[in-house]
């Protein structure tokens, strides 16, 4: 159904879409498989997290994906902030954290950027890039 929404998304690309091999966990159209041995630091690798499910149906676009580079109007692939501005994140080693969403989306933090990538590198200065929240509506 076109109005169906997901409440969690999967980190398929990392901080660079269409990178080969993918920096995320793969599993999307056009990505090569990512083996568990390719994830350098599972304890720091974002795997799954809350995504927005409250955007208008016409603006829902791939919201089963968790994509920090999403620059669409409603950022439906960003981690959500539904838990008092926090988002639940499952890491590749199986533990869960609930960081503030804006801390998770801090494009100027190499630590933040590294957590999106299976090689645990920030890939700073490469575009497309993490889209840092800029307005109160995005916080």
DSSP 54-114: -S-GGG--STTB--TT--STT-TTSBP-TBTTB--EEETTS-EE--BHHHHT-TT-HHHHH
Nearest 10 degrees: Cα torsion 78, 35, 23, 21: -130
Summarised one tens digit per residue, pLDDT across range 93-124 is 999 999 998 888 887 889 999 999 999 999 88
Q: What is the pTM of this model?
A: 0.82
Summarised one tens digit per residue, pLDDT across range 10-31 is 998 898 877 778 899 987 777 7
Q: Supply the pLDDT for residue 93.
A: 97
């Amino acid at each position: 159904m076109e109005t169906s929404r997901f409440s969690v998304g999967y980190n398929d690309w990392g901080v660079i879409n269409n990178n080969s091999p993918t920096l995320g966990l793969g599993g999307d159209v056009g990505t090569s498989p990512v083996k568990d041995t390719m994830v350098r630091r599972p304890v720091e690798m974002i795997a799954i997290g809350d995504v927005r499910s409250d955007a208008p149906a016409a603006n829902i676009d791939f919201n089963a994906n968790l994509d920090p580079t999403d620059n669409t109007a409603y950022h439906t692939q960003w981690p959500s902030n539904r838990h008092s501005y926090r988002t639940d994140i499952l890491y590749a080693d199986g533990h869960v954290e609930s960081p503030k969403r804006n801390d998770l989306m801090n494009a100027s933090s190499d630590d933040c950027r590294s957590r999106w990538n299976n090689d645990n590198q920030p890939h700073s200065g490469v575009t497309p890039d993490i889209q840092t929240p800029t307005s109160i509506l995005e916080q």
